[in-house]
Structure 1
Amino acid sequence: MSESKIGEKALDSIIQEMVDVVTNSKDEIFQIGEQSRTEFEQLNSELNDTKKQVIEMIDEGDKLERQVRFSRMRLSEVSKHFDKYSEAEIREVYEQTHQLQMQLSVKREKEKQLREKRDDLEQRIRRLSETVDKADALGGKISVVLNYLNDDFKQVSEALEDAREKQAFGLQIIEAQEEERRRLSREIHDGPAQMLANVMLRSELVDRTFRERGVDEALKEIKDVRKMVRSALYEVRRIIYDLRPMALDDLGLVPTLKKYLATVEEYNSLQIDFSSHGEEKRLDSKYEVALFRLVQEAVQNALKHAEAKTIQVKFELKRNNVNIVVKDDGKGFDTNEKKEKSFGIVGMKERIEMLDGEITIDSSIGEGTVIMIQVPLNQ
């Protein structure tokens, strides 16, 4: 056996070991995230109940405080005109005032305890929210790594002729992984992280708003905080969906493409026209994943680099092949000019080669871009 073959087998063994380790790590992180999410929901429910109790306790305390003031006025009246009241009446006023003061003291102490409990719950919820976000972000990064190891590296490993080519392509994958991490970091920092930071600031203002401007204003602040939390949750789910849409396994390629393109259209405020032609049937998993990634990469290129306002995606499934056309009205580019860090197009070409397909990119500066893909179905 040649040294090249021995090197390939050793590398394949290392890759498989990496896949197993990363998969186990992903499962553990997912469990941590789910446990934290469950505890977050429980604490959030408890926090809502505690806030209601605080409001009720404040109302009861305010009522008692008014009664105490009235009783003190009554006591002052009795003290001024001591000779006009009987001993029993005087004793009754003194006892009533004392009793009301004791009740008020108890209410205020309960209110203080409830406030402390509320503040503690809010701090715990913030910490859990951070844990959930970190787990989701880390899980997403691991999914990217697994995607390259499973969907790309293994298939490429079978096609490459020797270990030197594997090493060269491995360096490209490492570069792509780093770029994906940077992209995820930017999206999380500019999206959910910023929103959650604002939520923390706004949540701290709720208590002050309540004390200074009353219950109605505080409730408005709480509603605004809820809207911000919903927006942050939407951003997190969008990022997770970009990494690996679960609908691809459940519904198939065409429904997943429709859902993905509708989400991109809504989020980026642009027009995406999608049309599907030909047979309606499920494809082998490797085709569905690869074709979805090809469309995803082409659309993302149109968004990020072409600055397109309108994108057309045509998908045609025939008996023996698949045809895809992605057209945009963006600024276009010179196809003869090689750009640094253009791994998006390189990755698309690598996928096409692994599927024995063909890709044609037609573009010129100021005229938009048309990407045509044809993949044979050797199922």
Structure 2
Amino acid sequence: MAGSEAPGSRVEHVTATGIRFIGPKAASLASRSESAVAPGRDEDTLFVARCQVRRRLGTGSALNIVLQELSAAVLEGWPGAPPLTRDRSVRRPAARFEGLVWDVEGDAGAWRGELLWRRPHPVIAGAPCTTHVILSELDANVTLLVRVTADKGLASVRGMVGAGQARPIFLSAMSRTLRMFHDGLEAAAHPLPDDAIAGFVRDVLLSDTREHPVALLAPQEDGAFVVPPPEIAADLIGIAHVYFMERHAATFRLSDELGDRRLSAYWGALRVYLPGFSCGDRPEEHPLLVRDRLVDPVMRADLYGSLGRFARRRIAWPERTAPAEAPRTRGGAPVTMP
């Protein structure tokens, strides 16, 4: 919406995202604002994760598989979107619920790609989000950083539940064909037999150097799980290590080793032990989802949102190395689409 440009009149322009520019350069500034997706603010973070990616035996390049999964995710919200590749940039002008910049630089073995992708929140109507992905390849090592922000932070997605629901599902898709690692441990559900409980408490839970949350899943009395351990592990890729006790009897050993059953996990519950855990902590300092709550996807989303936000404290997000409005490319001119 442009106003009159007669002398003394006020010129203004309102962008598709609701930003109002006033003054003689309003139209120019608005055009530049609408043309590129801007990174979200750190304080508006809903989810952040970091992991290393390796290929499984019999599969191709880990980086190529990551790019395929990212492309498939983008295609769901943008029919006809060009694929994300390692040698060509892509951009789609920004609007309230859409827009994309894919920026690449370097060559095989020393390569970096950065994605800024604007889209609606997957559950909460009227809440625009920005997914920010940074991929780096050094020799054969691929690192994946993912952050999701909302324009108005937690308030716009109804708190921690909405934050948990914003977790990108492409992470779970990648884990089915790739090996994902987080802080040196594979992002999988790791079994704990009865005789491993003492060492787990001593070397993992009570470790002075542990910087990540540890999620521990207990079986029910019949040995079954309320939620399958691999599903929990897929949901917590890049933000927590996941273990599960193989037998109900192991839950008694856990309580004995901790010295306080209120800090334990049993009868199908999921307990998350945050860094700095000690056996003298108050139980409420380390989140617990009992069986009846664990089975509820909303309660799990609330927990995952809290853990995704917790990761923000320890995962430093790098600054952009180039402005979004001038993407780099090695394979010719950037692909620009409406």
* TM bracket (short chain): under 0.3
> Which one has a larger percent helix, Structure 1 or Structure 2?
1
Q: Which has the higher contact order (CA 8 A, sep 6+)?
A: 2
Q: Look at both structures and tell me which one has the larger radius of gyration over its CA atoms.
A: 1
**Whose strand fraction is larger, Structure 1's or Structure 2's?**
2
TM score, norm. by length of structure 1? 0.23
Provide TM-score, normalisation by structure 2. Answer: 0.26
